[in-house]
DNA sequence: GATCTTAATGCAAACGTTTGCAATGATGTT
DNA sequence: AACATCATTGCAAACGTTTGCATTAAGATC
């Protein structure tokens, strides 16, 4: 506090060696005699010395930082508070740390339009992980073309000039719907917005199952929030009565909103209506009835995202990849 | 990409001015003629120039970065996925950005024991926001004593050498409990861990209301997870039957876990048992019955945290402060 | 004893900004 | 005409690391 910041040259003087020796010693460079290294490292610990990251980054041309940017549409109101998105971020954080990198949490507000300029040229991060493919991929594509090491959490089937990691949304949608049908549903309802890349795949899976089983089906396009789901189910029931007996919701939050609307009208879940969600957020198992859902393995995905990003940093190119998802059957179906 | 990174001196040459002029122009320094400034700024935009943050930070001795560290006990299993914690982080992110700072998302794993060394001496951030006071405050206190600009989300009543911002937990606990009693409950149950600073205050409020109204009360000490709540309510019912008619849960997640256990045994909420939670997470209004709770104004708190941190950066000292919380009455009570 | 190898360390340049001070030219004042 | 003032710009140092290359000392080889 009172004393001025210790720098490497001070530490070196204290140890009676040159600055370069001190630097190498702290980086465990075998050029330096083992005893010397250990002596200097001990001294550093004793004096609470920390390398100045700004100086180091300037010299090294590397930041050891990965930026995570949450890519939400301004228009739709899927908020940053969506527990699933935040879980993804949290898992990415762990994965990033395990590789010795730090996590800069960013968003369109800070990064603006020119992600390459802001993060890479600006030496704020070595690479970018985008959470949420969104409807509009221009900025991602521009960044990738400018040479930004970048990976995206989204729908891996989308063809793009950057790798995308995400669940097999088609299979997820397919197996959720098949499960609903197997449980006796014959008038199905899809709740979500197929214009969104990942949700579009889930909807494709839904349609595929519907056609194969030759059952009735309808789709209501809503924002990805529980409020929108609650409102739309209420409106539908009011206008047309109970015209469905199975719901595939594009996310758990949506499913829970629908569930609430049904329960308020004493429509029994799963007897009158079966529901399956998507994501398997913490709330899914604590709702009543507990929510059947397609579990996304965010942990595995986060690890893959980071690995792919790091391999880009070392010059390799890599492809999109799907992470297996699995049906979790609970009481709602 | 192919071309090498543009630096300030290149931009200056392109504009036919010196590096210093270019630097000042980009920073909108009025020393430079207005037309020159605008010309250079336009040129910078045209060429996608971005200042090298590493070099700038080294020279300025400032990072314009704020570190947020989620402070969880290793022992208890309140996970990073707790939606409330993540909401706090997300609100802090917004508040930080509004002030022109970036957010470094960190944790004990990266920062280790010596937060001052890691963040401040290491020039990774200008200040630290700690989310979650935890049970053990040694590291926070040590960092503060070492001169780290630091603020904490926690219980503002705790006396400490750093400012703490948080809800008025005592009042929150008091009004939640009074509400339960007003709704007819006379055998109360507190669910949570009073050893945790914030929860301790909530429990004090609970006890205060209980004594004033002279009603029965018991406390079960559990981890702050819905799973623990679910398990403990089940165990209690199995062992002793329904010995309570009102629950004050220390968090919404805990309340929802308890709610599920009750519903599974067909105990009516709110007729047989009234429940009030704490936090007002998104799930509270979507559960069935919708959960009454004490709403914490995380947005206001986040703004306060950032303001207090920034005023520390400009040398002022500041005090802890409480943010008003409010009872939100829904169907569970 | 002279030369060669090897191990350990030091010297000094470079990374790309920002900023105090000096320099320049133009304008106003006596 | 000499001098002071002002607006605008440039020079060069400093921020604290890391690392290629040079240097030194010590042991090995002839």
The per-residue pLDDT for B184 is: 95
Q: Which two tokens stand for residue A297?
A: 């393995």
Is 60 exceeded by the pLDDT of residue A79? no
pLDDT tens for each residue of A116-156: 999 999 999 999 999 988 767 889 999 999 999 999 999 99
CA distance A18 to chain B (A): 21
Is 90 exceeded by the pLDDT of residue A87? no
Q: Which residues pair with A188 in a beta bridge?
A: A217, A246
The per-residue pLDDT for B288 is: 86
Listed by start position, the domains of chain B span 8-51, 65-166+298-323, 169-296
More confident residue, A306 or B84: A306
* B23 CA: nearest nucleotide by C1': C18
CA distance B87 to chain A (A): 6
pLDDT tens for each residue of B87-127: 899 899 999 999 999 999 998 888 888 999 999 999 999 99
Instruction: Answer yes or no: do A83 and B147 touch at CB < 8 A.
Output: no
Cβ atoms within 10 Å, residue A79 = 14
Q: Which two tokens stand for residue B77?
A: 């299993």
Give the span between the Cα atoms of B50 and B5, in whole angstroms.
10
Give the span between the Cα atoms of A314 and A7, in whole angstroms.
31
Residue B163 banded pLDDT, cuts 50, 70, 90: very high
The per-residue pLDDT for B108 is: 82
Q: Which two tokens stand for residue A27?
A: 């980086």
* Chain mean pLDDT for chain B: 93
The per-residue pLDDT for A76 is: 45
Q: Selecting from 3.40.50.720, 3.40.50.300, 3.40.50.2300, 3.40.50.1780, what CATH number does the domain A65-166+298-322 have?
A: 3.40.50.2300
Residue B286 banded pLDDT, cuts 50, 70, 90: confident
Q: Could you tell me whether strands A102-107 and B102-107 are parallel, antiparallel, or unpaired per DSSP bridges?
A: antiparallel
Give the Å distances, CA to CA, from B68 to A199, A262, B132, B302, B311. Answer: 32, 40, 11, 11, 17
More confident residue, B107 or A222: A222
Q: Reduced to 3 states, what is the DSSP secondary structure of residue B140? A: helix
The per-residue pLDDT for B111 is: 87
Tokens 């020039």 sit on residue: B123
The per-residue pLDDT for B80 is: 57
- DSSP letter assigned to residue B263: H
Cβ atoms within 10 Å, residue B67 = 26
Cβ atoms within 10 Å, residue A114 = 18
Strand D nucleotides within a 7 Å radius of protein CB atoms = 7-12, 14-20
Cβ atoms within 10 Å, residue B142 = 15
The per-residue pLDDT for B332 is: 95
- CA B240 and chain centroid, separation: 37
CB A284 within 8 A of CB A277: yes
Respond yes or no on whether the N-terminal peptide bond of residue A270 is cis (omega within 30° of 0). Answer: yes
HEC profile of chain A: CCCCCCCHHHHHHHHCCCHHHHHHHHCCCCCCCHHHHHHHHHHHHHCCCCCCHHHHHHHHCCCCEEEEEECCCCCCCCCCCCHHHHHHHHHHHHHHHHCCCEEEEEEHHHHCCCHHHHHHHCCCCCEEEEECCCCCCHHHHHHHHCCCCEEEECCCCCCCCCCEEEECHHHHHHHHHHHHHHCCCCEEEEEECCCCHHHHHHHHHHHHHHHHHCCEEEEEECCCCHHHHHHHHHHHHHHHCCCCCEEEECCHHHHHHHHHHHHHCCCCCCCCCEEEEEECCHHHHHCCCCCEEEEECHHHHHHHHHHHHHHHHCCCCCCCEEECEEEECCCCC
pLDDT tens for each residue of B181-238: 999 999 999 999 998 889 999 999 999 999 999 999 999 999 988 999 999 999 999 9
- CA A171 and chain centroid, separation: 19
Is 50 exceeded by the pLDDT of residue A63? yes
Give the span between the Cα atoms of A221 and A193, in whole angstroms.
5
Q: For A109, how many CA atoms within 13 A lie in the half-sphere containing its CB? A: 17
CA-nearest residue to B124 within chain A is A53
Best B288, B298, B330 residue to mutate vs chain A (most A CBs within 10 Å): B288
Per-residue DSSP letters for B28-79?
T-TTS-HHHHHHHHHHHHHTT----HHHHHHHHT---EEEEEE---SSS---
The per-residue pLDDT for A125 is: 97
Of B54, B87, B230, the CB nearest to A81: B87
Q: Which two tokens stand for residue A155?
A: 């729908």
Q: What is the mean pLDDT of residues A260-278?
A: 95
The per-residue pLDDT for B16 is: 95
Q: What is the mean pLDDT of residues B161-190?
A: 97
**Based on C-alpha coordinates, what's the Rg of chain A?**
25
The per-residue pLDDT for B78 is: 46
The CATH code belonging to domain B169-296 is 3.40.50.2300
Is 70 exceeded by the pLDDT of residue B1? no
Greatest alpha-carbon span in chain B: 85
pLDDT tens for each residue of B251-284: 999 999 999 999 999 999 999 999 999 999 988 9
Contacting residues of B for A10, CB less than 8 Å apart? none
Burial class (CB in 10 A: 0-12, 13-18, 19+), B108: middle
Q: Could you tell me whether strands B65-70 and A187-192 are parallel, antiparallel, or unpaired per DSSP bridges?
A: unpaired
The per-residue pLDDT for B282 is: 86
The per-residue pLDDT for A44 is: 96
Is 60 exceeded by the pLDDT of residue B2? no
Query: A–B: how many Cβ contacts below 8 A?
Result: 159
Distance B31 CA to D2 C1' (A): 28
Tokens 């937060």 sit on residue: B115
Contacting residues of B for A263, CB less than 8 Å apart? 288
Q: Selecting from 1.10.287.130, 3.40.190.10, 3.40.50.2300, 3.40.50.300, what CATH number does the domain B65-166+298-323 have?
A: 3.40.50.2300
Strand C nucleotides within a 7 Å radius of protein CB atoms = 7-12, 14-20
Q: Which two tokens stand for residue B107?
A: 């944790």
The per-residue pLDDT for B76 is: 46
pLDDT tens for each residue of B294-305: 999 999 999 999
CA distance B214 to chain A (A): 33
**Percentage of chain A lying above the pLDDT 70 cut:** 96
- Closest by CA position to B333, among listed B229, B206, B247, B252: B247
CA-nearest residue to A51 within chain B is B122
Q: Which two tokens stand for residue A144?
A: 């990738």
The per-residue pLDDT for A2 is: 46
Residue positions counted in chain B: 333
What is the signed CA dihedral for B80, B83, B89, B95, rounded to 10 degrees? Answer: 180
Is 70 exceeded by the pLDDT of residue B130? yes
CA-nearest residue to B70 within chain A is A90
* A58 CA: nearest nucleotide by C1': C15
Q: What is the mean pLDDT of residues B245-249?
A: 97
The per-residue pLDDT for A137 is: 86
Q: What is the mean pLDDT of residues A21-36?
A: 95
Distance A37 CA to D19 C1' (A): 17
Give the span between the Cα atoms of B247 and B236, in whole angstroms.
13
DSSP H/E element including B89? helix B83-98
Is 50 exceeded by the pLDDT of residue A77? no
pLDDT tens for each residue of A189-214: 999 999 888 999 999 999 999 999 99
The per-residue pLDDT for B73 is: 60
Burial class (CB in 10 A: 0-12, 13-18, 19+), B204: middle
Give the span between the Cα atoms of A63 and A59, in whole angstroms.
10
The per-residue pLDDT for A128 is: 97
Is 60 exceeded by the pLDDT of residue A89? yes
């Amino acid at each position: 506090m009172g004393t001025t910041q210790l720098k490497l040259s001070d530490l070196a003087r204290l140890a009676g060696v040159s600055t370069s020796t001190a630097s190498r010693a702290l980086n465990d460079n075998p050029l330096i005699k083992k005893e010397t290294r250990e002596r200097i490292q001990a001294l550093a610990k004793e004096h609470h010395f920390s390398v100045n990251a700004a100086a180091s980054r300037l010299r090294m041309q590397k930041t050891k930082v990965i930026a995570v940017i949450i890519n939400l549409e301004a228009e739709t109101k899927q908020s940053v508070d969506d527990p699933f998105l935040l879980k993804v971020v949290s898992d990415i954080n762990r994965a990033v740390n395990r590789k010795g990198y730090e996590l800069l949490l960013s968003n369109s507000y800070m990064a603006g339009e020119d992600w390459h300029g802001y993060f890479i040229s600006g030496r704020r991060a070595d690479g970018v992980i985008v959470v949420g493919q969104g409807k509009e991929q221009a900025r991602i594509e521009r960044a990738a073309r400018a040479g930004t090491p970048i990976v995206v959490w989204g729908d891996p089937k989308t063809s793009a000039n950057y790798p995308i990691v995400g669940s097999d949304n088609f299979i997820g949608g397919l197996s959720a719907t098949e499960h609903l049908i197997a449980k006796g549903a014959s008038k199905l309802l899809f709740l979500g917005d197929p214009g969104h890349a990942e949700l579009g795949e889930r909807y494709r899976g839904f349609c595929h199952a519907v056609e194969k089983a030759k059952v009735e089906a309808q789709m209501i396009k809503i924002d990805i929030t529980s409020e929108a789901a609650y409102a739309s189910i209420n409106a539908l029931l009011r206008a047309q009565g109970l015209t469905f007996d199975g719901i595939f919701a594009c996310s758990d939050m949506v499913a829970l909103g629908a569930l609430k609307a049904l329960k308020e009208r004493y429509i029994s879940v799963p007897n009158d209506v079966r529901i399956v969600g998507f994501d398997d957020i913490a709330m899914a198992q604590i709702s009543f009835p507990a929510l059947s859902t397609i579990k996304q393995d965010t942990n595995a995905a986060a690890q893959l995202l980071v690995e792919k990003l790091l391999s880009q940093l070392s010059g390799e190119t890599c492809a999109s990849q799907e992470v297996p998802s699995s049906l979790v059957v609970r009481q709602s179906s």
